[in-house]
A = this chain, B = another copy of it.
Amino acid sequence: MKRLKHPKYTGILAASAVALAGLSAVSATAQTAPVPGGLVHDAEFQRLWEQNGDRWAEEDKEVAAKLAELEARFGKKPNIIHILWDDTRYGSVGHRLLTDITGYDAPNIEQMAAEGASFTRMYTEPSCTPTRVAAATGRLAVRSGMVFPIFPIHRMGLPGSEVTIAEVVDDTYHTGFFEKAHFGDQEEGYVTNQGWDEAIFSLYNQFAGQMFTEDAENTGYTTAYNEDGYDKKYFFDDTFRPLEWIWTVEGTEGGEVREFSTPKTFADYQDANARMWERTKEFVVKHADSDKPFMLQWWPNVFDLADEDAVRPFTTQNGTASAESIKRMDAKIGELFALLEEQGIAENTIVIAMADNGPMAHVWPETGQNGFFRGGKNDVTEGGIRVPAFIKWPGVIEPGTVIGDMIHVSDLFNTFARITGRYDQIPTDRIIDGIDQTALFVNGDTHGRRDYVFTYKGAQLGSVVKQQFKRHFSLGGGGLAGAEFFDIYKDPREEHPLMAEFLWAWAQFDHIVERHTALIGEYPHTPVARGEPYTSIVRLEDQ
C-alpha cells in the first residue's frame, strides 16, 4: 500500500498502534490482511480494518459465495438502479409513523420500504453537486474540487481524471444515466465522457431549468433574470446575466453530445422531464432481456416550483411545492417497480432510492420542513447530511427491516463495484472514501463497516462524526469547547454541546483530523476542471 511508505503517515499509524496496545489486544494486527483491493482508504478506515479486518475478510468470503449463488440462479449479476433525488429530510417519506407528523404522502416509497430496508443513518454531502460526485466517484467531492452546486455559467466541472462507477463496471454492464447530473459544464466532465453508455443529463440543477425561463415570474420565484422582469434604466452591463447557457444534453459514450433542452418556458421544462422519463423506461426495457445486466443512475429532477399548468406557483396552503413534487416522483417510482415486474427482472434488480441532502430548510416552508434534525441543505448539522434512503433487493434483504449502521453515499461506489465483480477496477492511486458495504446489504443490520463521516462545508472540513459523537468546526459559539461536541443520539438536533464528553473526545477528534489531513498531504486534491463551457455540444438550432 503506497500510503504506508509515507514516513509522516506511518509514524502516526505506528504511534496509534502503540496507544492501542496499552488498551487491548486489537493492536496485534500483523496478521490483518491488507484492505480489500489495496485501496487508499482514509486512516480512519485503516484503523477499523486493523481491529476488524480478519473477521470482515471471513465475512467477505460468505458474501462472495452468496453473490455467486445468486449469479448462478439468475444467469447474470444483478441489475442496479440508483435513484437519487433532491433536498429531502429524513423521515419525510417511507413510513407513516414519521410522515404523519410532518412529511409527504409517497405510497410507492412506503411500499419499497415495506418490501425492503430503510436506512436510519445514510449520510451524504450537504449539497447536490458534492453528493452526486461522491456517489459517482466514491470520493468526497472536495478531492476533485467539486465543493459546491454548480450554476450557469460557472465554467467548471468534474475533472476527467476522476474514475466513475460507470468506468469501473465498463463494458460488463449496460450503463445509463438520466436527468440530473449536476457535474458542471466542462466537456471532460460530461457523463458520456465519464463512462456511461447512454445518457441525458443536466449540467446544472433543476432550479436553473425552471427559473431562467421567460415566464419565470409565474413561478413566484426569480423575476430578475429575464428580459421583461426588471426595470433596466440603470443597467449598462449586458454580460451580467448568463443568457446563452445550456441545461441538459444527451449522448452516448464518447460520441456526439447534443443539447436536449434549455427551457424557455416552464412547459418546456416539464416537456423535457416527461421525455427523459420515457427514455429512462426505454433503457430498462431495452436491456431487460440482455445477457449483460444494467446499471441505471436515475437521478430525477425534483422539485418542480409550479404546477402542471405552468403558470401557477404552488401554494403552501395545499401542500408545499416539495409535497407535490415528491408525489409526482413517487408515482414514477411506482411505475418503475411495475415495469421491473412486467419485464420479469424485479427479482434480480437492486433498487436504492435516497435523497442527495437535507431539505431547503432555510426557505421554509416552500421546499423544506423541520424534522428530527437541525438545519438543512448546505449545513453540516445532521439536517443537512442525513437523508431518507431505502433499498430493495428481493430474496436478499428481509422485507420491512431497518438498518441502523452508518453508511455514506460514497460507499455505494465501492459496494456497486463489489456487487458487479469489478472491485479490482477501483483506482489505487488516490484516496477512496467509499467503503464496501456489501456485507451490510447481504447480512443486514449491524454488519456495516463505517463508524465515521467527514463532512465538508465547501472546501473546509465542517464536521466529523464518530460513532454517536460529532465535532463541529464551523458552528460558532463561544466558551470552552463552544458549540463543538455533540452526542447526536441523545441530541440529534445538536442543540446541547457536551460538557463532560469533550474532555476525552477533544484529543481523539484532533487525532482523527490530523490523520485525515496528513493523508491529503500525500494525496493532494485534484483541481476542479475549468475552461470554456459547453464545448462539443451540438446546439438545438443546429440539430
Contacts and interface: CB of A to CB of B under 8 A. Distances in A.
B404 A492 contact: no
A489 B365 CA distance: 11
Contact of A370 (B120, B121, B491): B491
Contacts of A493: 370
Copies of the polypeptide in the assembly = 2
A543 interface: no
A97 B94 contact: yes
A307 B414 CA distance: 45
Interface in A51-105: 90-91, 94-98, 100-102
Contacts of A372: 91, 101-102, 371-372
A97 B98 CA distance: 8
A490 interface: yes
A94 B402 CA distance: 13
Interface in A451-504: 487, 489-493, 495-496, 500-501
Given A120-B101, A372-B371, A490 B96 contact: no
Interface majority SS (helix, strand, loop, mixed), chain A: loop
A369 B494 CA distance: 11
A365 B316 CA distance: 35
Contacts of A490: 102, 316, 320, 365, 369
A239 interface: no
A460 to B, nearest CB: 27
A267 to B, nearest CB: 28
Given A320-B490, A364-B496, A369-B490, A90 B101 contact: yes
B96 A97 contact: no
B491 A97 contact: no
A361 B487 CA distance: 15
Contacts of A495: 370
A492 B121 contact: no
Contacts of A369: 490-491
Nearest to A100: B120
Contacts of A24: none
Contacts of A320: 490
A120 B96 contact: yes
A361 to B, nearest CB: 11
A118 interface: yes
Contacts of A101: 90-91, 120, 372, 489, 492
Contacts of A402: 95-97, 100
Contacts of A500: 316-317
A527 to B, nearest CB: 38
A404 B105 CA distance: 13
A404 B121 contact: no
Interface in A84-142: 90-91, 94-98, 100-102, 118, 120-121
A501 B318 CA distance: 12
A450 to B, nearest CB: 15
Nearest to A496: B364
A370 B316 CA distance: 27
Contacts of A489: 101-102
A96 B405 CA distance: 12
A102 B370 contact: no
Contacts of A404: 96, 100
A502 to B, nearest CB: 13
Contacts of A118: 97
Interface centre among A101, A372, A500 (most CB of B within 10 A): A101
A370 B489 CA distance: 10
A103 B492 CA distance: 10
Contacts of A100: 120-121, 402, 404
Interface string A360-379: 00001100011110000000
A118 B372 CA distance: 19
A7 to B, nearest CB: 37
B491 A365 contact: yes
Nearest to A488: B102
A505 to B, nearest CB: 11
Nearest to A371: B372
A100 B448 CA distance: 15
A101 B364 CA distance: 23
Nearest to A95: B97
Nearest to A120: B100
Nearest to A369: B490
Nearest to A401: B96
A489 B369 CA distance: 9
8 contacts: A95-B95, A96-B404, A97-B97, A102-B372, A102-B489, A316-B500, A371-B492, A372-B372
The 9 closest A-B pairs by CB, nearest first: A100-B120, A96-B402, A100-B404, A102-B492, A365-B490, A101-B372, A370-B493, A95-B97, A101-B492
